[in-house]
Amino acid sequence: MATYDDFIKLDIRVGEITKVEDFPEARNPTYKLLINLGDEIGIKKSCAQLVKNYSKEELIGKQVLCVVNFPPRQIGPATSEVLTLGVPDENNECVLIQPNNNVPLGGRLY
């Protein structure tokens, strides 16, 4: 069973998607994202399978939650530096976890 100490090892922060590109080399339909995580962390890259539920245009400016302290992961020719968090919809496609209100970038989940 996980403990609270295990949970706080995860550094989950609020970021804002600033750029979205297609990622045709990915095995499954995927976007490459640039996410601004505030002054402390800066802008990081992420790869996310969001194509079924979001257009590139509607993702720009969205606030999202990201795990920022996992090691970078190579996904084909791209590197994902943070894990953008989501949950599956009824079709098992990713729906982003987002704050209801605009909150400061870089804020940590607690």
> Can you give the pLDDT at residue 77?
95
Please write the tens of the pLDDT for every residue from 44-101: 999 999 999 999 999 999 999 999 999 999 999 999 999 999 999 999 999 999 998 9
Tell me which CATH code domain 4-96 carries: 2.40.50.140
Kindly list the domain boundaries of the chain, sorted by start residue: 4-96
d(CA 36, CA 68): 11
Global pTM value: 0.94
> How many CA atoms lie less than 13 Å away from 20 in the CB half-sphere?
17
Please write the tens of the pLDDT for every residue from 18-35: 999 999 999 999 999 999
> Can you give the pLDDT at residue 88?
98
> Can you give the pLDDT at residue 16?
98
